[in-house]
Structure 1
Amino acid sequence: MMVDHYVRLGVTRTATHAEIRAAYRRLAQRLHPDTHDGVVSTDMVAVNEAWRVLSDQGRRSAYDAKLRVETAYVAPPTGAPWSAIDDDDDNDLTDYDDDDDVLIPMVETVAARRWMVLITFTMIAAALLLTALFVYAFIRSGSTAR
């Protein structure tokens, strides 16, 4: 299981950028090597990594998606009967929201990449075709470079 950067900084997953920055600064002041005779603790390294991920909106979104996937399924306790685990209310998907779907950003990214590959391939094919037509027309005209 990945280390939860929100827990490490002591903020909630819905924390604003300002709250995350304040939590980071508080921990950084306490754990900074200057306050510990130049010794960099593993805690400071971990806090810096949490700040690096959560301070950037793109990294934070990707991290949140990974966190949702990782916490989406919790294994049942060993030896628990299925009747104790199975609850018909859990099968109701009426409260399902597209914001909870972690596959949407991945599918959109794949579609965008495929679209860019198609555009690039088309541009290269068009350039090659135009070059071939130019060479053919040049040869047919009987012109030679002198």
Structure 2
Amino acid sequence: MYLHFKMQETENDDNHRGPQRVKKAVPECLDNGDLGIERKLYCRELIARFGHNLALNWNLGEENTQTTGQQQAMIDFIHQTDPYHHNIVVHTFPEQQDEVYEALIGDRSKLTGVSLQNSHIQDTHWQVVKWVQASQQTGRPWVVAFDESGSAAHGQCPDLG
């Protein structure tokens, strides 16, 4: 069991909305999604306040729509700032996993895992296996968690038997 900090959500991670990344001004987002003074302060304060915990991960955000460059800047800043080098993950829309995760896998970033989401319960196992194996093949195995499975209306059933 560990603390799972979702540092932002799709509604406030940048100036885009939804999986289609529709450009729209979002006054609540920090630095328009870039690693600016507001985002650095926010990340630094979260790390200072909670980083002493033994088991936690820093999740860049639920259904994250930042660009790869914005994600990498945030990953690097968290990695440099967290003295304990906790797990750093990202969560994206189910249909964008290949695009988002492939750009960050292996030595392409300091990301140490992913936080998966799917739309169909039967996809849970094979998606976990896919990213465990893909990351192992790069020589930098990821911690793969599944934190949003099934439809928004039903989630994961307690007993599939």
TM-score by length of 2: 0.25
Structure holding more helix per residue: 1
TM-score by length of 1: 0.27
* Greater relative contact order, per chain length (Cα 8 Å cut-off, separation 6+): 2
Highest CA radius of gyration, 1 or 2?
1
